[in-house]
Amino acid sequence: MVAVTAALAIVTFVVLWASIAAEPSAKLALGATLAAIGVLADFMAFYAQGKSVVGSIALIPLSSAALLVPDHRGLVLIVLAQIITEVHKKRPALKFAFNVSQVALGFGIGILLFRQFGGMPFGSLLGESFLSAASAILAPTALLVASVMLINTLSVSAVVAAVSGQSFLRLWVDGNKATALFSIFHVILTFYTSWLSLNLGVLGAAGMAIPMIAVRQLLRTTAELTGVTEELLDLMVAAIEARDPYTSGHSKRVAEASRIIAKALGLNAEKVERVEVAALLHDVGKIDEQFARILAKEGRLTPEEWTVMKRHPVRGAELVGLLTSLKDIVPAVRHHHENWDGTGYPDGIKGDAIPLASRIIMFADTLDAITTDRPYRKALAAEDARREFLKFRGKQFDPTLCDVVVSPNVWAELFACVETDRAAHLEPAQEIATSAVA
């Protein structure tokens, strides 16, 4: 993949060099200044807490540099900026080559499209009003930006798909959904940056670093707020497990299994994430004081105690609903103990009336319950657990979803997770049985 991308980038550079003469109106000094700002922006990039996602606005000044020097020299400036960035970040050789190649390919094709579809060197618009300049080349500018972002998402999706075995198309679609709004913002800010730099000169271009830093701080603040939300979720999970010492790791295992099932069903990245959050908090109702004594009890529960425990999904939904950012998962939390045939609780709904996320959590919760040692029975082996799911297909479990869960590939992935973390615990959670259990 890296070799192909690099080869295409070289071919694109040669075509650009051979077909488009160096423009006398190109603003090399401005282009170099903006490329330098692009390097600075990448130096100031940040990682969202606990994630590998990096926040950077470097594409905006680099795209502006391409508009001001729309020929092979502009591409050289951009590639040099990317090389400096990769050296600074001490990337491994393969990643270094891939990143530089896909940037060169994206901007090379972008500049070719910009010129092919009427884009003139930005320098020729000196003195024009913003609206006049926009009417002349905003559309070709959008093509340039679209090319850069499209090549980036296509190449990254291809690499991730090859490494992880995930669907290339779904990875690409999900990636573009996440960047669609930013793409529009990118086009407008790129054009404005180029126009302002042209009319204010090198010092004006350097001054553009100030609003870009402000945008970067806004993005970083958003990422930090996301990190705070994740820490809050972890705190809630810790509170659940502090109430019930036998459920150590249970919520996170259920969340992981739910994520695997949701992906196997073909849900998009956003829906998978919401299912995972709902699964993480499915037992949050148990932190209520009314369940404390029962959760501390050793051994099986009495019918009266089970009646009390059956209230925890309702209490959990009430607690989750207190947070605006979690209101969308309230139904999933409330109904994660509903059975396909209507014999579950708290509302006794059945079939498709049960939210899909709840049906997914039902599988994941049950899987963790029956594959974990309890004082009164040993954990089931993989094939025994699979037979139990099939036994209650269409009764406790959505039959279509059951077929997906027990399919060889999905089952193997689920049970691989089970075997990595088999801590002994006792949880009044749902187990497959003829009696109604949590």
**Which pLDDT tens digits describe the chain residue by residue (438 residues)?**
788 888 888 998 898 888 887 766 667 888 888 888 888 777 766 554 444 444 457 888 899 899 888 889 999 999 999 999 899 888 888 889 999 999 999 999 999 999 888 877 777 777 788 888 888 888 898 999 889 988 888 888 888 777 767 777 777 776 666 566 667 778 888 888 888 888 877 676 666 666 666 666 666 665 555 555 566 666 666 666 666 655 557 888 899 999 999 999 999 888 998 999 999 889 888 888 888 788 777 777 888 888 898 999 999 999 888 888 889 999 999 999 999 999 999 999 999 999 999 999 999 999 988 887 766 567 788 888 899 999 999 999 999 999 999 999 899 888 887 666 654 443 444 444 333 333
Look at residues 24, 15, 136, 8 and name the one whose alpha carbon lies nearest to residue 72.
15
For residues 338 and 347, is the Cβ–Cβ distance under 8 A?
yes
Q: How many Å is the Cα radius of gyration of the chain?
A: 28
pTM (two decimals): 0.57
Between CA 266 and CA 318 the distance in angstroms is 29
Reading the block at residue 20, the tokens are 């488009």
Between CA 180 and CA 186 the distance in angstroms is 10
Between CA 119 and CA 434 the distance in angstroms is 71
Sequence-ordered alpha helix ranges (H) in 265-327: 269-280, 292-296, 303-309, 312-320
Q: Say how many C-beta atoms besides its own lie within 10 A of residue 185's C-beta.
A: 13
The overall longest dimension of the chain from CA atoms, in Å, is: 87
For residues 63 and 148, is the Cβ–Cβ distance under 8 A?
yes
* Amino acid letter, 360: I
Reading the block at residue 206, the tokens are 């350097």
Q: What is the pLDDT of residue 425?
A: 42
Terminal Cα distance for the chain, rounded: 50
Q: Say how many C-beta atoms besides its own lie within 10 A of residue 148's C-beta.
A: 27
Instruction: Mention every residue, 6+ apart, whose C-beta is less than 8 A from residue 385.
Output: 367, 370, 371, 415
Between CA 37 and CA 57 the distance in angstroms is 10
Look at residues 426, 305, 294, 292 and name the one whose alpha carbon lies nearest to residue 369.
426
Look at residues 39, 20, 114, 112 and name the one whose alpha carbon lies nearest to residue 79.
39
Between CA 224 and CA 48 the distance in angstroms is 7
Q: Say how many C-beta atoms besides its own lie within 10 A of residue 219's C-beta.
A: 17
Going from the C-alpha of 374 to that of each of 40, 203, 296, the distances in angstroms are 56, 71, 15
Q: Say how many C-beta atoms besides its own lie within 10 A of residue 15's C-beta.
A: 14
Q: Read off φ and ψ for residue 56, nearest 5 degrees.
A: -150, 145
Going from the C-alpha of 305 to that of each of 268, 294, 297, the distances in angstroms are 39, 7, 10
Evaluate the CA torsion angle 429, 431, 433, 434 in order and state its sign.
positive
Between CA 198 and CA 410 the distance in angstroms is 56
DSSP state of 113: H
For residues 275 and 262, is the Cβ–Cβ distance under 8 A?
yes
- Going from N- to C-terminal start, the domains of the chain cover 2-226, 244-420
3-state SS string for 215-236: HHHHHHHHHHHHHHHHHHHHHH
CATH code, 244-420? 1.10.3210.10
